[in-house]
Structure 1
């Protein structure tokens, strides 16, 4: 087991000698001595000196006999070999107010390279049967994370380190019931969490560590009392990381000592703490991304090496443009400052997760230095998670708003939460110069082509992919086109492209999604509190901008199954889907990064460079041949498989005569089979082509509208007003707490 934390919460106190003498261990020891004396006095001389084996058995029996009457005499404080079950009942605890003592949390992250995270809490509590929760529904994750499986040690005790009886709730496994004796007003909790082994849904809110870096999500190292409102529950947090490491988080520490690795994050609400992950690393670097007149922005970097976190100035200049374009889109900011937390590593899962004043982004080790890697992921990921600060954090669907981290959330409106964010991400990415206009058109064509393959929309509406999100994220990938995946992202984005085009069309060019964002996500700088919305609110805002049957359109495209993908938005934007033989830059880039051959629009397959069939498109020639996902292609037209051989044979297929096929020899374990693919059109890749009807709305949408740009003076004034208002609120809260 990891060594016990050596730095304790300010409210903890060491046990006195009197308390030690009254501890259960001393009572058991004294009882054993007395019981043994009585037993030996009544034993014949021949049996007075038992063997070692007999001694062990006698000691165990005597301990049980001694413990039994002690437990009967005082069941609340005395030990029991098998703690009796505690009948679940609702605790009589109210949500803590400002006058309630804060929870103290100390976290030791120095052994995360060994996958061990330890923590110690001191929680104000009342005597009686009390329940505490381990987080299971964490904001940003559309489902239960199941991280309770990674708890390796849970100990509840009083301030004298005397263990208290507890049991797990039989129906809510994330809930612990503890019997708190009279006279005890503070509960100590020690946890050991097993890091580096995320569950199906927990990757973005889990904890990871290597010898070079770590990511810490605080939901993995604490419990909280039942009945409390996490936004009103105060917690004082201290963290220890390896000595010499730099630390990045959205919370400004009260103190931080890099030499010892100790950080004091001060007092925050429990909600804000869980919403503020921390990264640390040996090769830490902070890169300011400030632009005058916009919220201060910094990118905290950790990585596998110095090279990973050394960002070229050209990239820094590029990254600096993201925040201004996002603020111009929304017209105001729901945060005082913002932190991009970026982990550059090839040793951890890749993910991104949104937070109120930060985002946690895990990318490839050289993703900020290599143009291909950057275009493939960070160029879109960073704007996506930033947009969530408005769409998902500042305003969120009403069924996704909760006062705790254990009640299930309703995910039906993820086609807004994620779909709209995915669309606005594209606007920010292009307007800020993360990708070029031409590259993004290729990206959009690829996404349209991907969605065309989803035959599952014939039975499953887009809304159901949102409702079923907990079963789709991170789930099995076999035949994903039949089942559908998290289509509320990309098909959702196509829906919002159509909405943007309709707003412009129906309003005569007077309204757009830019106007919708400024209106729907407006920040009240006097009271920047997160608010929820319903479908009715969404429809009402659209109706205020343009006259159109929005509710009927949503019902038709989102809540009903579709025979085929609706391309209304693409067509209204001035484009249509076309096909070319030459690989677009986006496809080349994707193949290079992922190590695969993208032939979904021709043969209907995606094959890794090692020959593994990663995907078979339903109703494609590959599907017709009986090809199976996860099988291995070993030869193409009698030639040993390689990426170049498959591409050459696909090129040659354009000259095939009727009846000629591309023959694949495939291995599944010890078995081989031949699959004849009837195809004669050569390479085929989706592109967007301008049509003759109407203006080029897509280019107009992606271009930053200068007439709607927020001036630096206005933004600076807005930010200053927001800071002043929030400072007054914090001072008022602090004074109330002292009273």
Structure 2
């Protein structure tokens, strides 16, 4: 009975309950209630479960004794979207079983999302003879292969099938380009840290294609490319973008911009806009005062055919822009942020990583509780660096943060019961799938609400130091240590707090705990207000909302009717307790007519405007499945879109935060 008592004691201390109450709780009898068997009719069968052997075994920080694994991938079948893989794993004498793991817990995904369902056609051989294999029923990511006596290696042949339709998953291969992610098409031997497993990669590409990656030692023979032997962790951290149409720009001696595109015309980048990418690197250096890479590749796909992505790596990042984002620079300003966000991750997330998110392999479960630092502060710095470098206009920053602020001020009733910290579990809980009422359930708010909390922290420091310091100083002290080190340096909550206190003494533990771990908190607008701006409403969409609506073909009426609509009037999201929700509109319903006129974006926006200040409801003809009905919405507030507006004259705190730190 010791274990339950120790657990209760730990809980009482953690919750800081009074001594008397804690003692009373600890004194409660630990007897169990009557079991179900006690109340079942006599004679019914009642099996008893045995303890499952499903505890995740920790790997050893030792090298794979077999030697270097060879990984050969044929990526030429772009018509069918197939990667054909041959992996040769050396084994040692006396080994009777080879336990191979498919990467499950993927860095940057914050969840167990390894797509083993896309790997098929397994065949294992040794010395030309087919070997038997089975799958571990308690860990379906583990394949157990029988090894014959005297075998020197096991050869695994299989295929990884890229989805060929978006409904099947993210498309990674098209006739014009591919995104090869090593962890999606390889196994590694169990029992060892992945950084201790040596692997030699080779890929055959379609004829004439250019391949970009952060891997070193590239050698090309025809269309087959090899790289130097590398540890498996670094391999997984070094994906490939390759394409028929490709272009590379040198941003500084150690940083490159590597772009592929659906068509060559999408690779035209004006010199004045290339300068913003160059300045982004300068601004990142000024912010962190250190680098955690020896060289870095910004991998960028200009596409609407290959699946979208924004994924961080130590010496590179996978990024996707809409096809015209380089050529139609100003109009696509809203789409430029992912590059700065993923660049920041080289410092925050890859080098500095929460202790519970660092794992020695891709089988050990990740714990996401500090994602409000990992992603929240990256969201903050990604936007700040985009504005400082001109990669995005300052107005785009203001409009994006107005949209963020509005969501928490009026668009998310789920904040009443669920904390920001609890949303850090969402990558595991929900796997980023659509939700019927995301405004109630919340989603991964550690990104955006986290960024607003860090904005408030910045303003607290600036106010307390009379402008002498800000969150920039925290970034240098926390992320800018050990220049040139591109290993991993884990941290915990206490180190975050102590570093903040080193910049400016304040009760940071209470501040962070209240803002991020508390529920039903006020909307996180204080940082904006301290920085000299306030949230206001206008009848026209701001530039960020307008760009996103045009890019993704939807109409946002969140703060008027309480819905978002596709081009044909189908409801794609519904605000919990909003006017449309109260009228019974749900996702999937299609608006066919507005006040007796066929649905169009203009028709519904005109109807909302016309109803402002009147008593007449907005009348909609709605189809849901095979049923048609008339819905009347009693809303009279007009169109409402969020903006940030200065509260004082001259330069304000937010203006100073966004000002460039480098010349030119």
Q: How does the TM-score come out when normalised to structure 1?
A: 0.79
**Which residue of structure 2 lines up, in the alignment, with residue 420 of structure 1?**
377
Counterpart among 603, 607, 613 of residue 645 in structure 1 = 603
Deviation, 1:384, is: 0.3
Once structures 1 and 2 are overlaid, which stretch shifts more, 527-536 or 238-247? 527-536
Counterpart among 613, 617, 622 of residue 661 in structure 1 = 617
- Show the 5 A alignment for 1:346-357: 346-357=304-315
Once structures 1 and 2 are overlaid, which stretch shifts more, 415-424 or 137-146? 137-146
CA-atom RMSD in angstroms? 2.5
- Show the 5 A alignment for 1:146-157: 146-157=114-125
**Which residue of structure 2 lines up, in the alignment, with residue 494 of structure 1?**
452
**Which residue of structure 2 lines up, in the alignment, with residue 194 of structure 1?**
161
Deviation, 1:450, is: 2.0
Instruction: Give the SS at the match of 1:320.
Output: helix
**Which residue of structure 2 lines up, in the alignment, with residue 407 of structure 1?**
364
**Which residue of structure 2 lines up, in the alignment, with residue 180 of structure 1?**
147
Q: Which runs of 5+ in 1 are unaligned?
A: 1-86, 713-739
Deviation, 1:91, is: 11
Contact 1:466 1:488 in 2 (8 A): yes
Q: Tell me the alpha carbon deviations over residues 257-316 of structure 1, each in whole angstroms, 9 at most, x when there is no partner.
A: 4xx3110112111111110111111112212222xxxx5221211121111223233322
Contact 1:253 1:266 in 2 (8 A): yes
In structure 2, relative to structure 1, the CA distance for the partners of 1:105 and 1:660 (3 Å cut) is same
**Which residue of structure 2 lines up, in the alignment, with residue 120 of structure 1?**
86
In structure 2, relative to structure 1, the CA distance for the partners of 1:646 and 1:574 (3 Å cut) is same
- Show the 5 A alignment for 1:300-699: 300-371=258-329, 374-377=332-335, 379-452=336-409, 453-525=411-483, 527-654=485-612, 656-657=613-614, 659-692=615-648, 696-699=652-655
Contact 2:592 2:598 in 1 (8 A): yes
Deviation, 1:406, is: 1.5
In structure 2, relative to structure 1, the CA distance for the partners of 1:349 and 1:153 (3 Å cut) is same
* Matches of 2:181 and 2:586, distance apart in 1: 39
Once structures 1 and 2 are overlaid, which stretch shifts more, 131-140 or 518-527? 518-527
Q: Tell me the alpha carbon deviations over residues 564-585 of structure 1, each in whole angstroms, 9 at most, x when there is no partner.
A: 4232211111112111223322
In structure 2, relative to structure 1, the CA distance for the partners of 1:607 and 1:199 (3 Å cut) is closer
Deviation, 1:201, is: 12
* Matches of 1:411 and 1:90, distance apart in 2: 18
* Matches of 1:92 and 1:289, distance apart in 2: 41
Contact 1:144 1:201 in 2 (8 A): no
Q: Tell me the alpha carbon deviations over residues 164-221 of structure 1, each in whole angstroms, 9 at most, x when there is no partner.
A: 2221111000101122222113221112111126999985xxx721111111000122
Deviation, 1:510, is: 2.6
Deviation, 1:380, is: 0.7
Instruction: Give the SS at the match of 2:105.
Output: coil
Q: Tell me the alpha carbon deviations over residues 31-74 of structure 1, each in whole angstroms, 9 at most, x when there is no partner.
A: xxxxxxxxxxxxxxxxxxxxxxxxxxxxxxxxxxxxxxxxxxxx
Contact 1:147 1:202 in 2 (8 A): no
* Matches of 1:514 and 1:241, distance apart in 2: 43
In structure 2, relative to structure 1, the CA distance for the partners of 1:487 and 1:670 (3 Å cut) is same
**Which residue of structure 1 lines up, in the alignment, with residue 172 of structure 2?**
208
In structure 2, relative to structure 1, the CA distance for the partners of 1:284 and 1:191 (3 Å cut) is same
* Matches of 1:325 and 1:412, distance apart in 2: 29
Which structure 1 residue ranges, 4+ long, deviate > 4 Å from structure 2?
87-96, 197-203, 692-695
* Matches of 1:471 and 1:89, distance apart in 2: 20
In structure 2, relative to structure 1, the CA distance for the partners of 1:98 and 1:606 (3 Å cut) is closer
Higher share of residues assigned helix: 1
* Matches of 2:530 and 2:450, distance apart in 1: 16
1:703 aligns with 2:659: yes
**Which residue of structure 1 lines up, in the alignment, with residue 75 of structure 2?**
109
* Matches of 1:636 and 1:341, distance apart in 2: 45
Q: How many residues align?
A: 609
**Which residue of structure 1 lines up, in the alignment, with residue 240 of structure 2?**
278
**Which residue of structure 1 lines up, in the alignment, with residue 107 of structure 2?**
139
In structure 2, relative to structure 1, the CA distance for the partners of 1:125 and 1:689 (3 Å cut) is same
Contact 1:615 1:629 in 2 (8 A): yes
Contact 2:106 2:114 in 1 (8 A): no
Contact 2:297 2:315 in 1 (8 A): yes
Contact 2:119 2:161 in 1 (8 A): yes
Instruction: Give the SS at the match of 1:174.
Output: strand
1:245 aligns with 2:209: yes
Contact 2:290 2:484 in 1 (8 A): no
Once structures 1 and 2 are overlaid, which stretch shifts more, 300-309 or 468-477? 468-477
Q: Tell me the alpha carbon deviations over residues 304-340 of structure 1, each in whole angstroms, 9 at most, x when there is no partner.
A: 1111223233322222221111111111111122111
Contact 2:60 2:193 in 1 (8 A): no
Q: Which runs of 5+ in 2 are unaligned?
A: 1-52
Contact 2:123 2:158 in 1 (8 A): yes
* Matches of 1:413 and 1:199, distance apart in 2: 31
In structure 2, relative to structure 1, the CA distance for the partners of 1:667 and 1:564 (3 Å cut) is farther
**Which residue of structure 2 lines up, in the alignment, with residue 261 of structure 1?**
223
Contact 2:426 2:432 in 1 (8 A): no
* Structure possessing the higher radius of gyration over alpha carbons: 1
Contact 2:66 2:91 in 1 (8 A): no
In structure 2, relative to structure 1, the CA distance for the partners of 1:107 and 1:366 (3 Å cut) is same
In structure 2, relative to structure 1, the CA distance for the partners of 1:505 and 1:116 (3 Å cut) is same
Q: Tell me the alpha carbon deviations over residues 655-695 of structure 1, each in whole angstroms, 9 at most, x when there is no partner.
A: x43x2111111111221122222222322211112224997
Counterpart among 177, 193, 196 of residue 229 in structure 1 = 193
Instruction: Give the SS at the match of 1:451.
Output: helix
In structure 2, relative to structure 1, the CA distance for the partners of 1:415 and 1:549 (3 Å cut) is same
Instruction: Give the SS at the match of 1:400.
Output: coil
* Matches of 2:396 and 2:321, distance apart in 1: 20
Instruction: Give the SS at the match of 1:109.
Output: strand
* Matches of 2:531 and 2:159, distance apart in 1: 54
Deviation, 1:136, is: 0.8
Once structures 1 and 2 are overlaid, which stretch shifts more, 108-117 or 94-103? 94-103
Instruction: Give the SS at the match of 1:402.
Output: coil
Contact 1:201 1:473 in 2 (8 A): no
Contact 2:293 2:485 in 1 (8 A): no
Deviation, 1:560, is: 1.7
Contact 2:100 2:190 in 1 (8 A): yes
* Matches of 1:426 and 1:649, distance apart in 2: 36
